[in-house]
Each structure stands twice: as C-alpha cells, then as structure tokens.
Chains A and B, each alone.
Chain A
C-alpha cells in the first residue's frame, strides 16, 4: 500500500513544454506513471514527448481523465496554475516550482481552504510511491517498494535518506517532499495522518530542518496520535541565526526554529532521533526491527 500516489494516479503536467516540464514528464513516464496530458496555454492540440497537450487543465480533465497535476510553471504564474488545477477538480496538486512570492501563496492557501483537494509543495521534489508511480523530480531508481514512509522538507537530503534505506534493503511505501517554503500546502502532520491509516506503512522517517514550528507540531501529533514508530532527523544544527539557508523557510528568526528546540520536542514525543544524517538508514532499520 501507499499514500497519495498509486496505480490509479493519472497525471497532467502543467508547463509541459518548458525545459524542466519536458524532462521530468519523460522521467515520470519512464518510471511507469500514467502521464496522460500536458497543459501549456496556446499549445493545445499538439503532442509533446508523445503526450497530448491541452490549453487548460479543465480540458485535460475532460479529455484525458487526469486526477493529479504536476506543476513546473515559473514562479510568477505558479499561484495561478495551482488555482487553475483546483478549479478544474484535480484532487492532488504537486507544485515543484521554487521561488513563489509568499503573499501569492497566502492567497492561494486561503483560497484552497475547505476544498476537497491536497496541495504538495511548492518548492518540493514531489511524491513517489516506489513501484507504483512517481509524481515529481526525484531519481526513481534509488527507491524500492517497502514499509517505510518518508516525509521531508528538502529534496536531495531526502534522496540521501532513501539511498541509505535502499542500500540496507529497506523499501519505502511513499516518499513525500513537502517543500522548503514558509507556506506549503501539506504539513508533516497531514502526512502522518495518512501514514497512520496506511496498512503498507510500518515506520515513518521525518526529515526536518531549521525554521518555523512544523517539526514541533509534528512531534505533538506523534505524541498524541501515532501508533507507528517514528524516526527523525533535523538539518541545520550548525546554522547561524537570522540567515536564510537556501530554502526560504529555513531561517532561525526571533530566536525560534532552532534544531535544538525541534530535536527536544521530537525526543519528548518518543521520536527516535538521528544526530547524524549518516545514521538515518541504520536508525530506521532498528526501529523497524523493533530493536
């Protein structure tokens, strides 16, 4: 089993004729994902990478029966693209775009409230359920199917964790990069709720980083609701305060959001902490084997 992405996932790629959109639409197809449509306004009717292109997401839904959108639209227009997908009835929107203005996302986030859909990202690598489908930019070949759910705020650090797991012969149910921006659609807590209900997930690996309080919120949820073992790592122990560490969301501001605070909250919630990012694989293995 898995969450969010499975064999029923039918993908439309918004911004498919761009460089990134083309490359990763092909990557998802090659992984075996059903990429059934692309959207680039004004290019409707053509075929790109063998995939039919539509002018609007609504057309793609009607003609190709897509239920999931993968967005590569540039930051200026990405908020618009998310809202278009929502309006067209897409139930899972994965927005890869990095650099969307925060106030644009404030509006998007407000507008999506109460709608029956889920936004992953923005500024994220996407979602993969190994062996079932990939809706994102992660390298598919480093993954393998199995019992570990992975949820993370970063991209390559998630690949690192998955690499460590796969190397030990430990597969993953679903891996989600929730994104490195201050305002994102899906939180750690949302993912934990889904993993808790998923019979295919036995253990969860949470990869956090400095900034905000998402890890503390996740810890509170784990303490109150999670029955499955959780392993955690928080990047940025050595990060100086007041400096944005690449991700717009990774900043220690007003003395809040330090790795030490997050680790403390997670430990108090019974989450097994990896001090070193080199120990993510081995710590999950121990949790999985009940050691």
Chain B
C-alpha cells in the first residue's frame, strides 16, 4: 500500500526524522493561509502517489501567500500527468505547502528488503534528486549499500560506511547517523516495503532534512497497522480493483479485450501470456484463489464484465482437488444471475471434468469448451476478433 508525501512526512516526524515545516491544503484559500503562517517563500506540491510530479507541473514555488493561493488554484483539480500515471493523469485534490529550503547539497537515501539476501538494505547515494534506478543502472558505484541484521539493527559502522560513502564529514556525518537510525526505526516499526528520501538535503545552515518522502507498506503486515490502513486513498486506485480487493480477489486491469478468470497467480499470469501468444490482448489479471468457490466466481464475473472493453471471457481453472461439476454449477449460476451475454471460453481440469463439460453444454448458455490452455487462448482470441467485426 502506498501513501502520500504529506502522510509519509507526518509518520517520519513522529519518529523524529527532520522534515520541512508545512501542512496539507485542500483549497487555494487554505494554501494561502498556510503560506502566511510559514512566512517567506513556500513550495506548493501536488499530492498524488505517482512520481515525476515536478516535471508534470505539480510542484511550484510561491514568494507570497497570494502567489501560493494562485499557484494552488492552478494545481488543485488538475489532471496531473507524469511517467507513472496513466495517459489520462491523476486528479489532484490536495497540495502540501512547505517552507522553501536553501539547499546546499542533495542526496538519496532508501530502504527496501533485498530478496537476494533476505535482509533490509539501506542505500545511499550522493546523486540525490535524480532517478535512482537510472543511477543504479549507469553508475552503480555511486550507490553505497549496507544490509541490516534484524537482531542488531543499525550499527555505527553502517552509518559510517553510508556517511563516508556520501562524502560527508564532521557534524553532517553525525547528523546522517542519527537520521539513518530514525529512518530505519520507522521502516521496521511500520512494516514498510519502501522508505525513500529523495532528496535528502543539507541546507545552507547545515541541517539535514527529508525534502521529499515516499513510503510503501507490506500488504501482508497491514493488519497490525490500522493507523496506516486509515491513510489509504482509494481515489488513487482503480474502482474495479478496489471492489475486487473487498472480495479477496486479486484483480489488475489491463488494456486488452479478453477478460480472464484463473485460479492461482502463476497460472493467471501464464494465461495472460498465452492469450497474447494466440494473438489476443488480455483485459486483466484476475486470480480467484486456489479454491474458486461459486461465490468467488460470481463476484469475479461481476468485476470482469464491468470492464466495457471485455469482448470475451476466458476461464482457466486447474482444479485438481476441486470438482468440475461444482465449478460448472457455479459458473452457470453466475452467468444466469448476472445476465452475461458475452462468449465464454472455459478450460477446466479436475475431478468429474466430463460431467462438468456436459453441464455447460446443456445449460443453453454461450459457453465454448476448451481442452487445453492453448486451445482456450486460441478460441478466446478468435472470439474477440469476431466481436470486433
């Protein structure tokens, strides 16, 4: 789960990580009032989850409260397009108004879990403010990394290695040690999957500050952080994906027209791939779970067909233990209840598969039986082209 910059900064501030003074505003008038309170030049930053906000025109300086109000009125309500939003952009409903800083140096700090060694890794780079993925690719030597053992937490040698790696000395070296310890503590305490400060800045008067902050949380651990879950912004998610998550379905909308419903994440990805190989375009990823109960299938159908691009539905269920007659019963019930008229290609495997196929055939509904995954994909791709005409 992702959160906004202003929310991340509030969490960081709770852990003692220094952040610029500022507050979030939902109206231009509020933005002006916050600017007046802060005094001096402020920066007005659009609050959306996607990165690249500055380039898209979502971050602006304002020298007076009046200007802050005016800039906020331009940003609030805009559809902000960045390389991380879709082509339609993301609507901005909040801006963060912060004191503008006198910046002497920009750096990068990030914590993620390194799956290759099963430990959190802290990464630091003097190439702050830049796209860190680009730095990692082109100048990997510019990134210093330390792995943290959960038994000991961040130690002095970690902070020294990172601090010297950043080329720091004296007071800022000590300052970054304190900063790192607090950032890591936040990462651990909140079950983050990402805590990223880009840029971490040294101000003209020598202070360290998190000028920007990005945090994401481990979905598997969110149950023990209701305060984090409360920060979820469903406006940042696709409505269909939100609905799917309420039914414990894993759904991701894509751009094609072959809707697919599969049990198991690996098989669901493989089904999308084979549709593409057959000349079709998958409309979604949808995992109904290992069991695939009748109720799950009905919910899945409802979500699938609410995507207006879907021209054909492909169901691929490798039941194994699951009985195919029960599965067929669930599918027939769901199709009748929802009045689905689209062609439906079904490939199922499991016990009583012959009986299941017979039931589908005799239902009088628009089902096409397929014996294998490859056949199912070919039939679905063909049907999608047919509907196009």
Contact = CB atoms under 8 A, between A and B. Distances in A.
A76 B223 contact: yes
A157 B267 contact: yes
Interface hub of B84, B133, B224, B320 (most chain A Cβ within 10 A): B320
Contacts of B219: 244, 248
Interface string B148-159: 011100000000
Contact of A210 (B254, B269, B276): B269
B115 A183 contact: yes
**Those 9 A-B pairs whose CB atoms lie nearest each other, nearest first:** A154-B266, A246-B265, A139-B320, A156-B264, A278-B374, A157-B266, A101-B221, A277-B270, A235-B269
B191 interface: yes
Given A103-B188, A212-B115, A238-B272, 11 more contacts: A102-B193, A110-B150, A156-B264, A159-B349, A160-B318, A235-B266, A235-B269, A246-B250, A246-B268, A277-B271, A278-B377
A107 B273 CA distance: 36
A105 B155 CA distance: 21
Interface of A: 27, 75-76, 99-107, 109-110, 137-139, 141-142, 152-160, 163, 180, 182-183, 207, 209-210, 212-214, 217, 233, 235-240, 242-250, 254-255, 259, 275-279
Contact of A156 (B218, B223, B263, B372): B263
Contacts of A217: 116
A279 B377 CA distance: 13
A183 B265 contact: no
B269 A250 contact: yes
A93 to B, nearest CB: 16
Contacts of A182: 113, 115
Contact of A180 (B188, B265, B272): B265
Interface of B: 84, 113, 115-116, 118-120, 132-133, 136-137, 149-151, 188, 191, 193, 218-221, 223-224, 250, 252, 254, 262-277, 282, 285, 287, 290, 318-321, 349-351, 372-374, 377
Nearest to A233: B270
A250 B113 CA distance: 14
A245 B320 contact: no
B270 A157 contact: yes
Contact of B149 (A110, A153, A207, A243): A110
B29 to A, nearest CB: 35
B143 to A, nearest CB: 12
Contacts of A104: 221
Contacts of A209: 265-266, 269
B267 A160 contact: yes
B113 A106 contact: yes
Given A109-B118, A236-B269, A278-B274, A103 B320 contact: no
B90 to A, nearest CB: 14
Nearest to B271: A277
A39 B131 CA distance: 50
A180 to B, nearest CB: 6
Contacts of B276: 237-238
9 contacts: A27-B321, A106-B113, A156-B320, A157-B264, A212-B115, A214-B115, A236-B273, A238-B273, A240-B252
B120 A156 contact: no
Contacts of B377: 278
A101 B267 contact: no
A239 B272 contact: yes
A156 B266 contact: yes
